[in-house]
Amino acid sequence: MRASLPVHLVVCTQLSAVWFGVAKAHGGHRLEPHVPGFLQGFTDITPAGDDVSANVTSSEPAKLDLSCVHSDNKGSRAPTIGEPVPDVSLEQCAAQCKAVDGCTHFTYNDDSKMCHVKEGKPDLYDLTGGKTASRSCDRSCFEQHVSYEGAPDVMTAMVTSQSADCQAACAADPSCEIFTYNEHDQKCTFKGRGFSAFKERGVLGVTSGPKQFCDEGGKLTQEEMEDQISGCIQLSDVGSMTADLEEPMEADSVGACMERCRCDGRCTHFTFNDNTRMCYLKGDKMQLYSSPGDRTGPKSCDSSCFSNGVSYVDDPATDVETVFEISHPIYCQVICAANPLCTVFQWYASEAKCVVKRKGFYKHRKTGVTGVTVGPREFCDFGGSIRDREEADAVGSDDGLNAEATMANSPDFHDEVECVHTGNIGSKAQTIGEVKRASSLSECRARCQAEKECSHYTYNVKSGLCYPKRGKPQFYKYLGDMTGSRTCDTSCLRRGVDYSQGPEVGKPWYSTLPTDCQVACDAEDACLVFTWDSATSRCYLIGSGFSAHRRNDVDGVVSGPYTFCDNGENLQVLEAKDTE
């Protein structure tokens, strides 16, 4: 029998931490929290007009970028903060805006030399001698040819010749997260939470940017990543009438409740009540209704595997279900995930309509269709890929959820990431040794394989740090993290073999990857074999006497030994030992 392996175990369903844009302890990570920049009030202005702000450390005065100034007699009707400042230059007025908390833009008058520091959204009008500009002309964090036009607007659109004005307007409204500026009609549109699902690349004449000014730390990619973690959760007073999967439990936060849903293979969405702190896991499509204190969200907010502008055309032969009043494509994905016949979904922005489709959809594919979003039934950070779904449907292959697609030598097998959670998934399991940088995911995996006790690893693509881990994975969300098994070798795993009715050891455990079940079994001293059920994502950890409960030709299951395949173990040898 196997040797004793002392490991501290924490099951996935007990996790409560999730990253929502706030720095938290993370297994040895050196955290660099995202903190909005600010400027203190400046104490002096040089005769030349340069800003000597409290945060300027250089001996040379700071040079202000004034490239976004409306120099064509433009003022702003927006409220002025405090009293106008007299007898200053344009440069000094720009510096004054930067020094005043809450200033989003300013108006300077060439004739009167008066400076009006403004708050709120720029409201431009013709003013003799007027020059108006955003708090910052830095556009380094804007992205060209990127559009979020399909996302719902949270503010009235604004017409301006300067894209920097769009950022000033967005910064003034707490509901705005990002803006999109169209150079052709000089119009800004403003988008709120959930915007990331509507991203389109390659749109000529369009620029998008974050609400936070670039020179104060604004990053569009950061906003996107945070939106894909929590942007689709209902803000307040929205519950779900869908039946609960189990008795509700207390949770520390809405993030902790979401994490419980992520760890349960049956869960499609959840409801958390801010007043009672109770967490309700749901296993069917959302049935939203008004409920005081409730906040409801899907298993995942990640929309990175969706495609915008693609349509499969409605067809009774492939349409399984049509649902109206669906406000976001993520909610459409939940409906698809809850329907066993669904392979992909199609969401129409103008009608708030969700159509879920079965196999055979690909032959109706069209591109360049405005206002339509499509995606796979699998949540993006759980391996969902619309491209893989399309390829499988085009050749008439089996459903991508069955066990064949999870095994080596299958057509869609990619050994680099087959056993890796790529969607901002970290592990809180104990880190082995010193945390060091790695040049790639592969190097981090090799480092894990060089450590005798390493069962899995976490690699952060942003910092390049590699964390070899021991014991059972303890998954949670963390930006940039990827977590994988020690090896992607699945040669000793067997499809269709089921030991799930054998003597279970440890607590129920869930994962979307069968290789994680092997890691969990290896970490559980009494576990000899595991069975993974693809339909529920449940890992059955089975102990001595398992061989008497073997069943063959069971659809959707994968079984394997507790030791990794590249160590030479196999089920046949273990079964022989088990019957001795």
Domains present along the chain, CATH in parentheses: 12-33+415-485 (3.50.4.10), 44-134 (3.50.4.10), 143-216 (3.50.4.10), 238-298 (3.50.4.10), 307-378+384-406 (3.50.4.10), 494-579 (3.50.4.10)
Residue 62 confidence (pLDDT): 57
Query: What is the average pLDDT value for the chain, to the nearest integer?
Result: 82
d(C-alpha 473, C-alpha 452), whole Å: 16
21-25, 162-166, 199-203: the lowest-pLDDT one = 21-25
What DSSP line would sit under 356-376, residue for residue? EE-TT-GGG-EES-TTEEEEE
Q: What is the mean pLDDT of residues 219-228?
A: 88
**Residue 545 φ/ψ, nearest 5 degrees:** 95, 5
Percent of the chain with pLDDT over 70: 85
Residue 418 confidence (pLDDT): 64
* HEC secondary structure over 33-52: CCCCCCCCCCCEECCCCCEE
Cβ atoms of 408 and 490 closer than 8 Å: yes
Residue 333 confidence (pLDDT): 94
Cβ atoms of 51 and 64 closer than 8 Å: yes
SS3 (DSSP) at 127: coil
Which pLDDT tens digit goes with each residue over 230-280? 888 988 899 999 999 999 999 999 988 998 898 888 899 999 999 999 999
Percent of the chain with pLDDT over 90: 52
d(C-alpha 548, C-alpha 349), whole Å: 54
Which pLDDT tens digit goes with each residue over 315-329? 888 899 999 999 899
Residue 179 confidence (pLDDT): 97
DSSP-H helix ranges across 136-219: 163-171
Which pLDDT tens digit goes with each residue over 190-210? 999 889 888 888 899 999 999
Residue 423 confidence (pLDDT): 67
Residue 127: is it exposed, middle or buried by C-beta count within 10 angstroms (0-12/13-18/19+)?
A: middle
Q: What is the mean pLDDT of residues 132-142?
A: 96
Angstrom CA distances, 569 to 231, 387, 529, stand at: 44, 35, 11
For the cut 70, the answer to whether the pLDDT of residue 54 exceeds it is: no
313: left (phi over 0), alpha (psi -120 to 50) or beta: left
d(C-alpha 95, C-alpha 549), whole Å: 76
Residue 371: how many CA atoms within 13 Å on its side-chain side? 8
Residue 45 confidence (pLDDT): 28
Angstrom CA distances, 363 to 343, 345, 458, stand at: 14, 15, 40
Residue 38 confidence (pLDDT): 26
When mean pLDDT is compared over 106-110, 408-412, 450-454, the highest value belongs to 106-110
Residues with Cβ within 8 Å of residue 351, at least 6 apart in sequence: 324
For the cut 60, the answer to whether the pLDDT of residue 17 exceeds it is: no
For the cut 80, the answer to whether the pLDDT of residue 63 exceeds it is: no
For the cut 50, the answer to whether the pLDDT of residue 7 exceeds it is: no
CB atoms < 10 A from the CB of 370, how many? 12
Q: What is the mean pLDDT of residues 182-196?
A: 94
For the cut 70, the answer to whether the pLDDT of residue 516 exceeds it is: yes
For the cut 90, the answer to whether the pLDDT of residue 527 exceeds it is: yes
Residue 491 confidence (pLDDT): 82
Q: What is the mean pLDDT of residues 187-192?
A: 96
Which pLDDT tens digit goes with each residue over 280-300? 999 988 889 999 999 999 999
SS3 (DSSP) at 161: coil
CB atoms < 10 A from the CB of 1, how many? 9
Which pLDDT tens digit goes with each residue over 426-465? 899 999 998 999 988 889 999 999 998 999 999 998 889 9
d(C-alpha 559, C-alpha 554), whole Å: 11
Amino acid at 171: A
Q: What pTM does this model have?
A: 0.52
For the cut 90, the answer to whether the pLDDT of residue 399 exceeds it is: no
* HEC secondary structure over 333-355: HHHHHHCCCCCEEEEECCCCEEE
Residues with Cβ within 8 Å of residue 447, at least 6 apart in sequence: 436, 438, 454, 457, 466, 468
Would you state the structure tokens that stand for residue 172, as one six-digit string?
A: 């003034």
Place of tokens 């979904």: 345
Residues with Cβ within 8 Å of residue 482, at least 6 apart in sequence: 417, 420, 421, 422, 425, 441, 458, 459, 460, 461
28-37, 82-91, 233-242, 497-506: the lowest-pLDDT one = 28-37
Place of tokens 């955290």: 31
Place of tokens 């391996």: 383
d(C-alpha 358, C-alpha 175), whole Å: 37
